[in-house]
Structure 1
Amino acid sequence: MCGMTNTAQQISARLESCFAHSGFAEPGVDAVRAAAGVSLRTLYKYFPSREDMVVGALDHRHQRYLEGLKEGVPDGPGPAPIHHMIERVAAWMTDEASTGCLFLSALAAHPGSAAIQAAVARHKAETRAVLAEFAQRAAPALSGARRGAIADALFVMHEGQVAASATCGAESAANAAHSLADTILTERVMQ
């Protein structure tokens, strides 16, 4: 969102809300424009196509999500940063994404869009990088390769927690993620 004007940021925030609540297939141009709170001309000035609107919404969601994951992370070493992240994901899924991952929904709705594929790939890669930071905090004495293995396992756990939250509930998914995190950390750190 760097380089975006204030108006573009406001519109992208409203687009995120629109697509999160209505999906990507349902809202027509008039509904999207109304949700954005601007004229059609202004909407197209900043987001010239539906694809641009979706990418703008995803970029806004991406920033909010990563900021939310990082908020209040305790220092390590130990499992506290990982368990904190699990609780942050549970809160996000309860408050922001009870129907599942907006990024995967966008990809499912627009499977042929290279721009949307790139936005989703960027989000997933940067989420994995944040989890690598948490692994660093949790186990600073481990080698980079072993921390990387922990980060990979945490990323798969994270994705599973997000997916399971929509079907099993955020609390149930978080409880399973806490157990899995303990197993991951015990097995990877103690090796």
Structure 2
Amino acid sequence: MDISEVRNRIVATADELYNAKGIQAVGMDELRSAAGVSLKKLYGEFPSKSSIVMAVLEHRHQSWTQGLDATVQQAGTPRERLLAIFDYLAGWFCQDSFRGCGFINSFAELGAISPDVAEYARKHKESFQEYVARLAGEAGAPKYLAPQLAILAEGAQTTAAIAGTSDAAGQARQAAEVLIDAALTSN
């Protein structure tokens, strides 16, 4: 097994454990055991728990970005691409492993004590807002639409996590349709 394979397994295992239990609840020994690596190998790949947390956040960012973009790119029109954001959320919310946004959860758990986690969570959210702004621009929508849609998506994530149902994605999609149509006709 090569180093990148070990590293990827550790990150994937940490992501699953952190998502299920929370970051602070998972110790290095539990992670080592679940990943099937020695403590020496674990620390050889990641010198600290915070370095694993940052690698998990990077992994989550890449997964989110790739998954979202793949769904959006399947949509036909610029309006449909904006709505596809909420279709992606609907699929995500139905997954058994869905526990809410990993960035919101990480920020809530560690943001006050880890400036790196807080900064990464902010950058992730900023990149999502920029993505929505690009899609809104391609649709010919006014600039105010993108932050409104981003807030809807963020609220849907939190609502779905707390309610334990995927209903929030459909409700947010319906609200997005109203906002998009109003913005496009007023423009």
For 1:54 and 1:90, how far apart are their aligned partners in 2? Answer: 26
* Identical counterparts, % of pairs: 27
Structure 2 residue identity aligned to 1:33: R
Consecutive unaligned residues in structure 1, runs of 5 or more: none
1:1-191 → structure 2 map (5 Å cutoff): 5-73=4-72, 74-78=75-79, 80-95=80-95, 97-110=97-110, 111-137=112-138, 139=139, 141-142=140-141, 146=142, 148-191=143-186
Alignment check: 8 A CA contact 2:7 2:45 kept: yes
Which aligned runs of 4 or more in structure 1 are off by greater than 4 angstroms? none
- Helix, strand or coil at the partner of 1:71: helix
Alignment check: 8 A CA contact 1:9 1:60 kept: no
Alignment check: 8 A CA contact 1:86 1:177 kept: yes
Label 1:46 to 1:122 Cα distance change in 2 as closer, same or farther (>3 A).
Answer: farther
Normalising by structure 2, we get a TM-score of 0.86
Following TM superposition, by how much is the alpha carbon of 1:50 offset from its aligned partner in structure 2, in angstroms?
1.4
Following TM superposition, by how much is the alpha carbon of 1:19 offset from its aligned partner in structure 2, in angstroms?
0.8
Q: Over residues 36-72 of structure 1, what are the superposed CA-to-partner deviations in whole Å (9 max), with x where a residue is unaligned?
A: 3321112112221111111111111111111111114
> May I ask how many residue pairs the two structures share in their alignment?
181
For 2:70 and 2:153, how far apart are their aligned partners in 1? Answer: 16
Structure 2 residue identity aligned to 1:112: I
